[in-house]
Amino acid sequence: MSKQKMIKAPRGTYDILPDQSYKWAWISDKFKQVAASFNYLELVTPIFESAQLFERSVGDQTDIIEKEMYKFKDRKGRLLALRPEGTAPVVRSYIENNLRAGNSISKLFYNGPMFRYDRPQKGRYRQFYQYGIEYIGTADPFADAEVILFSDYLMSGLGLEKYRLEINSIGCSLCSEQYNKALVTYFQRYTDQLCSDCQKRIKNNPKRLLDCKVPNCKSLADNAPSMLDYLDEKCQEHFEQLKSHLDSLDVDYIVNPKIVRGLDYYNRTAFEIIDIATEAQTALLGGGRYDNLIEFLGGKDTPAIGMAGGIERLIAAMEKENLPFGEQPKPDIYVINNDISTKKEAMLVTAKLRKNGLKVEFEIEKNSFNKQFKAALKSGANFTAIIGEDEKNTDTVTIKNLRKEEQSRYKNDEIVAIMNEKCKKHR
């Protein structure tokens, strides 16, 4: 076979290398711990869905649907999409599996890869890992406060300090109608100064003008009318209650009337947690209320709220703040077969220790004692188990504590109990 050109990972994707993967595990574990303390259960949905699910829920004039969705036909011509986000699949599954039956409330979490054909840059990937929660079945502002509190606990539980919680209310369809009119009147005066996307947004989705990153549009948006002046009485009351709950819970936040979110299913509460350690001020997570989505996708009228965040952005923020990710996994014991003739005995001791729950590395390639010993030190193991000719003949194992430079010999049939005890002390 002739040598071919190397194949690289697709643009915007990356490998989570073995010396980094523990960071993903650390964050996923922390997220699952917070989810358990708030009594959320995991829901795992497919990585691809019918493309229509996202087109209908996220909104066909959003960037995600217009520019970023990985859409393809399968061999039978079905139009599918790699999921760009997790809320629509959760709602689809909630309706399809009738999760409402017998439960007035469903609290669900998920964690996995999402796909968006975004312009790759730091913190923006085409495949990224997203954790998220959905609190389904209540319109009470206590639920909004809980979802925001969850987000805040996760950030502070990971040790982060340089973040800011921003909240807003984007009202309901009734308030939006009035507000959209006010926005159109305001921005129409500047149509020729707007970017080409915003010129379309003025007609299709005026609120999205507030979210444009183009500097000129951004400065025009600074003086645009505020959504908060257009909230009707009920939406205003909902927002006031949410703020009062957050105040009682001592959650720090600012009200940012420019948060509109990049997906169309939201109403009332919208919020983001912003990384303030860098100038880019990217969103660590975002969420909001989506009271109409479940009915819109064919379910019963069921209010809901949720949030999701990217693991890559959390890792970058934690690295900037020099925060720990727990320890990289390492073996408890490194088994050294002092002599080639004792390799089989070493293999059997390894198997016995592993079977009893210990983390054990067994040296296969290197035969010199010195080389094996160096490898043991490099592995980070606390102990070596040495099996040479002497040990083989007396059915014993020598255990060396690599931290204390102590060593003793033990009977082979006692080794599991002894090592369990010794390793427990080191954990």
Which of residues 132, 137, 257, 299 is near ligand HAM by CB under 6 A? 132
Please say which residue, 126 or 243, places its beta carbon nearer to ligand HAM: 126
- The first and second tokens of residue 282, run together, are 């990217």
Q: How far apart are CA 69 and CA 101, in angstroms?
A: 32
- Number of separate helices (H) and strands (E) present in the chain: 15, 16
Min dist CB 272 to ligand HAM, Å, is 7
63 binds ligand HAM (CB under 6 A): no
283 binds ligand HAM (CB under 6 A): yes
34: Cβ–Cβ under 8 A, 6 or more apart, which residues?
150, 153, 154, 157
59 binds ligand HAM (CB under 6 A): no
Radius of gyration of the chain (CA): 28
Which of residues 59, 257, 303, 306 is near ligand HAM by CB under 6 A? 306
Q: In what order do the strands lie in the sheet with 406-411?
A: 360-362, 333-336, 383-386, 396-401, 406-411
Please say which residue, 45 or 396, places its beta carbon nearer to ligand HAM: 45
Which of residues 87, 168, 267, 269 is near ligand HAM by CB under 6 A? 87
Interior/surface letters 407-421, b for 16+ CB within 10 angstroms, e for the rest: eeebebeebbeebee
Please say which residue, 26 or 266, places its beta carbon nearer to ligand HAM: 266
Q: How far apart are CA 415 and CA 390, in angstroms?
A: 16
Within a 10 A sphere around the Cβ of 130, how many other Cβ atoms?
20
* Among the residue ranges 3-11, 281-289, 330-338, 418-426, the one whose residues contact ligand HAM (CB under 6 A): 281-289
337 binds ligand HAM (CB under 6 A): no
* 54 contacts 65 by C-beta, under 8 angstroms: yes
CB half-sphere exposure, 55, CA atoms < 13 A: 9
312 binds ligand HAM (CB under 6 A): yes
Min dist CB 59 to ligand HAM, Å, is 12
307 binds ligand HAM (CB under 6 A): yes
* Among the residue ranges 14-22, 116-124, 335-343, 367-375, the one whose residues contact ligand HAM (CB under 6 A): 116-124
Min dist CB 309 to ligand HAM, Å, is 5
Q: In what order do the strands lie in the sheet with 106-115?
A: 41-42, 106-115, 127-136, 304-310, 283-289, 267-275, 163-169, 254-255
Which of residues 116, 208, 243, 245 is near ligand HAM by CB under 6 A? 116
109 binds ligand HAM (CB under 6 A): no
Q: How far apart are CA 75 and CA 71, in angstroms?
A: 13
285 binds ligand HAM (CB under 6 A): yes
Q: How far apart are CA 366 and CA 48, in angstroms?
A: 46
- The sign of the dihedral angle between the CA atoms of 69, 73, 74, 78 is positive
Which of residues 128, 150, 334, 362 is near ligand HAM by CB under 6 A? 128
243 binds ligand HAM (CB under 6 A): no
309 binds ligand HAM (CB under 6 A): yes
Contact set for ligand HAM, span 366-425 (CB under 6 A): none
313 binds ligand HAM (CB under 6 A): yes
Residues lying near ligand HAM in the complex (CB under 6 A): 85-87, 116, 118, 123-125, 128, 130, 132, 134, 262-263, 283-288, 290, 306-310, 312-313
